[in-house]
């Protein structure tokens, strides 16, 4: 039986120096699972990045030691028919505007095409609104996004399947056949919090000590980082004993530090900075955080949700479409209206007096995380691809 070749065209880039290639760690770890479970050869067609390497999460490899072939595109080069000619199925990114032509290429070559999608139009417009205060520039961005969405819909009419990261995309493109819902995460089975670890933290929770709140992510408006210090100030005015640990870096970091100093919050809020995900963030979430605060304005399917739940930490935050989609599936937290900081602060005040409720949802959180760990998620995605590869092609 012929082994079906798989071609992956991801949205993430690769860094190249001589023969050495540097990959995003989460992407590379996912490729290792593909190499283990996919029954044929794998080729990655990747854009080359000229930006600085990230501080954490980079894997170095050379062609001889990789279990897949990597084709690095030249600057401004698009994936072409020559890159997919030998594939049985192509997995491409529908969030990347320069890959929306891939479905048509696949149809011409008789190759099956599956897209991965994360953002919905609402989220794209929300990001544009935050990125520019100039109404003319914002209008141009809206027009560009509208045209891009038309191209995306036409590409979906030609593709053979869709892998949706998060509930918003899954529901937005409900008319596309062969959809798969998954939740992005970097937490493997062995990194999930154990029952003994969770019960130890819940014992501390019951001691009525100040609630330990946490946040991790980019410190940008899109992630609601500008509301974190405001929330801490409201909790202080409510006379709630608490401590908030903020992990991450970003454009708002300096202003947040000044605001903490200005409002006398130094003993209540700690800026932990950007820390290594596996070595520090996960252990800290498992041991030192009772309740995660997610003030994300947009409905982007942040991996933060599943990674936090995998540590057995329930979430309180703005009920955008992404968080709301998870809440509809499992009792793992509490959602309030977007931008309603008062509602979040009052919810935390109530939960301080209902710690068994926090404990119950902590257990629900880890149970949900166990259903969606890194390995299980990738296996489901590979099974989805195989079902499309082996099934009848769309006419």
Nearest alpha carbon to residue 197 among 292, 283, 303? 283
Calculate the dihedral angle through the C-alpha atoms of 173, 175, 177, 180, rounding to the nearest 10 degrees: 30
Question: How would you class 237 by CB atoms within 10 Å of its CB: exposed for 0-12, middle for 13-18, buried for 19 or more?
Answer: exposed
**SS3 (DSSP) at 236:** helix
User: What is the average pLDDT across 122-136?
Assistant: 86
The pLDDT mean for the chain works out to 94
Residue 156, pLDDT score: 97
Q: Assess whether pLDDT exceeds 80 at residue 304.
A: yes
Give CA–CA dist 391/363, Å, rounded.
Answer: 39
Q: Assess whether pLDDT exceeds 90 at residue 327.
A: yes
**pLDDT, tens digit, for every residue of 226-250?**
999 999 999 999 999 999 999 999 9
Task: For residue 54, give both structure tokens.
Answer: 């990230």
Question: How would you class 164 by CB atoms within 10 Å of its CB: exposed for 0-12, middle for 13-18, buried for 19 or more?
Answer: buried
**pLDDT, tens digit, for every residue of 45-100?**
999 998 887 766 889 999 889 999 999 999 889 999 999 999 999 999 999 999 99
Q: Assess whether pLDDT exceeds 70 at residue 394.
A: no
Give CA–CA dist 266/257, Å, rounded.
Answer: 9
């Amino acid at each position: 039986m012929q082994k079906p070749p798989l071609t992956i065209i991801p949205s993430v880039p690769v860094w190249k120096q001589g023969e050495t290639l540097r990959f995003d760690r989460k992407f590379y770890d996912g490729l290792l699972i593909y190499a283990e479970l996919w029954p044929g050869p794998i080729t990655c067609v990747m854009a080359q990045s000229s930006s600085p390497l990230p501080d954490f999460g980079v894997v170095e490899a050379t062609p001889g030691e990789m279990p897949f072939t990597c084709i690095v595109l030249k600057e401004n080069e698009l994936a072409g028919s020559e890159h997919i000619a030998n594939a049985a199925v192509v997995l491409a990114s529908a969030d990347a505007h320069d890959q929306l032509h891939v479905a048509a290429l696949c149809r011409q070559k008789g190759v099956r095409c599956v897209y991965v999608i994360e953002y919905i139009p609402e989220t794209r417009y929300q990001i544009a609104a935050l990125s520019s205060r100039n109404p003319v520039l914002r209008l141009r961005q809206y027009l560009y996004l509208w045209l891009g969405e038309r191209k995306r819909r036409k590409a979906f009419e030609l593709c053979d399947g869709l892998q949706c990261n998060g509930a918003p995309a899954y529901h937005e493109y409900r008319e596309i056949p062969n959809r798969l819902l998954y939740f992005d995460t970097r937490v493997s089975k062995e990194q999930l919090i154990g029952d003994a670890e969770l019960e130890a933290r819940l014992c501390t929770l019951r001691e009525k000590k100040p609630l330990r709140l946490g946040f991790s992510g980019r410190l940008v408006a899109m992630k609601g980082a500008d509301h974190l210090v405001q929330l801490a100030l409201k909790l202080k005015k409510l006379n709630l004993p608490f401590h908030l640990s903020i992990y991450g870096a970003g454009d708002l970091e300096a202003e947040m530090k000044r605001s903490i100093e200005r409002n006398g919050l130094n003993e209540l809020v700690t800026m932990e900075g950007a820390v290594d995900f596996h070595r520090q963030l996960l252990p800290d979430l498992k041991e030192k955080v009772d309740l995660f605060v997610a003030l994300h304005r947009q409905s982007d399917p942040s991996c933060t949700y599943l990674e936090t739940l995998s540590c057995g930490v329930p979430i309180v935050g703005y009920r955008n479409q992404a968080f709301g989609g998870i809440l509809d599936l499992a009792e793992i937290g509490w959602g309030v209206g977007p931008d309603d900081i008062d509602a979040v602060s009052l919810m935390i005040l109530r939960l301080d007096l209902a710690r068994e409720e926090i404990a119950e949802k902590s257990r629900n959180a880890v149970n949900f995380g166990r259903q969606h760990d890194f390995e299980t998620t990738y296996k489901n995605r590979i099974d989805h691809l195989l079902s499309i590869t082996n099934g009848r092609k769309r006419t």
